[in-house]
Structure 1
Amino acid sequence: MRVIWNVLAIIGLLAVIAVGYAIYVLQPYAGGARALDSQATTVYARMARTVLETGDMAEATVYKRKVEEGLDVGEVEDTLRMVANELNIANVGEMPMSEEVRNVTGEDFPFLKIYMFCDARIAAQMVRHSQAMAAYLPCRIVLQEDEQGQLWLMTLNLDPMIHGGRPLPEELYEQALFVQESLETIIDRAARGEF
């Protein structure tokens, strides 16, 4: 009985040491964690769950929709452009990646095109707030064909940018939400062919 008591005492002591060490190591970050946006833990938990389910970090960072059967590339592209124009999001470029891959390699490649959209005023405010936000510019939407010939639309999930750090200033927060909602609206409507 005394041996069991001693083993339990050692386990308890090791647990106290481990907790003390964790507090010591994490203490410098506690203030920073408390300063994060109230939705940060939800955003990162959702991303972690996706990574654990898929094993793919990129999958955890995108918003995507399957294009409805029967819609072709031209219809999806027309809808993308029309909805972006309706929302006053400028189309600042298109990159036909599958054509480029075919030209460079001489091999066939499934359809892949990147559409770039931007609102220069919002972009300027984002970069003034954080230079790192320039890496998110311009906002991109991808139209991609998978191995089965199914078309998909996707863009970066902006939740980590909007909610992943300290709360954004109110005006920038509203504008970032507008951009996020606009990109999702463009994708959702284009996936349905809804002009």
Structure 2
Amino acid sequence: MGFIRNIFALLGVVAVGLAIWLGPALYKYKVAFDGFDDQAFDTYKSMMDRLAETGNSAAATVWKAKVAEGLTFEDVDQSIKQVAIDRNIKGVGELPLGDQVAAMTGKPWRKLNIYLYCNPLTAAKMVEYDPAYAAYLPCRVSLVEDNTGQLWLYTLDGCVSKVVEIDFRHLRAG
């Protein structure tokens, strides 16, 4: 019985030591998150969960959704463009990278379009807040055909993905 008591005592000492050692660092993060948007913690937690699951930092920072069966690349292409018009978001570019790869290699390649959108007033607010946000502009939505022919929507996780998730729910599988 004394052995078990000593083990628990040792565990208690280790726990108190860890709390003293890690406490200030963890408190720093708690204070920082207190000033963030209410959904920030959940967004960052889901990113960390995806990073742990995939081991891929790019996959951890994006939102993706499988496109519903029966919708063609052209259907989704037109829907993406219509959602931008409906939301009064300016299309500032489109990159038909799949077609470009096929043209450069002379061989058919899967479909991949990247759509670039920007609301100039929102972009200005982002850059005024912190010029580092300029690296995220313009906002991108990608339509990707995977190796099996299935279509997927991708965008950065966070605010952009919430708009895409709402507006494109009619395109998503499941």
Contact 1:84–1:186 (CA<8 Å) still a contact in 2? no
Task: Show the counterpart of 2:143.
Answer: 143
CA RMSD of superposed structures (Å): 2.8
Task: Show the counterpart of 1:188.
Answer: 169
- Which deviations, in whole Å up to 9, do the C-alpha atoms of 1:72-109 show, x marking residues without a partner? 22222222222211221111111111123234445542
Task: Show the counterpart of 1:155.
Answer: 155
Paired with 1:183 and 1:3, the residues of 2 have a C-alpha distance of 58
Contact 2:43–2:157 (CA<8 Å) still a contact in 1? no
CA pair 13-132 structure 1, distance change in 2 beyond 3 A? same
CA pair 24-77 structure 1, distance change in 2 beyond 3 A? closer
Task: Show the counterpart of 2:77.
Answer: 77
- Matching residue's letter, 2:164: L
Q: What's the CA shift for 1:184? A: 3.4
Contact 2:116–2:138 (CA<8 Å) still a contact in 1? yes
- Matching residue's letter, 1:76: V
Task: Show the counterpart of 1:165.
Answer: none
Q: SS of the counterpart of 2:64?
A: strand
CA pair 18-140 structure 1, distance change in 2 beyond 3 A? same
- Which deviations, in whole Å up to 9, do the C-alpha atoms of 1:38-66 show, x marking residues without a partner? 33222222223333344444333333332
Paired with 2:7 and 2:154, the residues of 1 have a C-alpha distance of 55
Alignment of 1:3-152 (within 5 A): 6=6, 8-152=8-152
136-145 vs 95-104, which moves further: 95-104
Paired with 1:148 and 1:187, the residues of 2 have a C-alpha distance of 22
Q: What's the CA shift for 1:157? A: 2.0
Paired with 2:105 and 2:140, the residues of 1 have a C-alpha distance of 24
Gaps of 5+ in 1: 160-178
Paired with 2:163 and 2:25, the residues of 1 have a C-alpha distance of 41
- Which deviations, in whole Å up to 9, do the C-alpha atoms of 1:104-129 show, x marking residues without a partner? 44554211110111111111111111
- Which deviations, in whole Å up to 9, do the C-alpha atoms of 1:105-163 show, x marking residues without a partner? 4554211110111111111111111212212211111111111111122222224xxxx
Q: SS of the counterpart of 2:36?
A: coil
Q: SS of the counterpart of 1:149?
A: coil
Gaps of 5+ in 2: none
CA pair 102-70 structure 1, distance change in 2 beyond 3 A? same
| Structure possessing the higher relative contact order (Cα contacts under 8 Å, 6 or more residues apart) | 1
Contact 1:142–1:154 (CA<8 Å) still a contact in 2? yes
Contact 1:87–1:182 (CA<8 Å) still a contact in 2? no
